[in-house]
Amino acid sequence: MKLKGKAALVTGGGTGMGRAITLKLAGEGADVAINYSRRAKEAEETVEAVRRLGVRAFAMKADVAVEAEAIRLVDEAAKQFGRLDVLVNNAGWSTAVPHRQLDGLTEEVLERTWQINVKGPIYVTRAAIPHMLKAGGGAIVNTTSVAAYQGAGSSIIYGASKAALGAITKSLARAFGKDNIRVNAIAPGFVDTGFVNWPASVKEKAIAGSPMGRIPTPEDAANAVLYLVCDATGVTAQTIFVDCGVTALHPVV
């Protein structure tokens, strides 16, 4: 039980990769605060699954893109558990906009993507840092994306937002390393969670281009997060690609 007595907050923690991450942390003994924005039923189901593992959990609705709500979320987690040791900034948003269709990058798409994927992690982290300092340190993991490195992904602004989050990860790691707060990231590839309403052909293409002959699962992402939180004690400012080797081993032509 590597996280026994520790407390974690996972944004977007009720579904998909977030749910897998939540359960992975809970399985190592962490109490977990589960944030959601829309899917209350699924979040409460995840809470029950966590409690069956013998640890505490609660779900809280909050829009992390709104600073006041992000602060309220973090403070409630620290209040209920008495501390905050682990933060996983997993909440994100995207919609498919073909890269050549620049007119599809409406002001609404640009603003919402940036608010949730960039400002949200900043707001939540800013609120969490004082609690981690009080606890003597902590671990933060941000969910970026291979889209930040490939010039691909669901939209141009999505890739840009995840690239920004990668830069934020390094800056935070530098700023708080001496406080025993490690900040890292995972960069998942195509994970079939319904995050973006892709047609089946996209999944098939992803599998065909994978060096491992498959796409990453939510469990793969959760395993990487657990490593960064628990075992990577000398690791900070790093990004682990969870893409079954696609980015590193792109096709040779």
The catalytic site residues sit at 158
Residue 253, token pair as written in the block: 């032509």
Contact by Cβ (8 Å): 180, 137: yes
Order the strands of the 86-89 sheet from edge to edge: 57-61, 31-36, 7-10, 86-89, 138-143, 181-188, 239-242
* Residue 241, helix vs strand vs coil: strand
> Which contiguous run of DSSP H or E holds residue 157?
helix 156-176
Category of 18 on φ-ψ map: left (φ > 0), alpha (ψ -120 to 50) or beta:
alpha
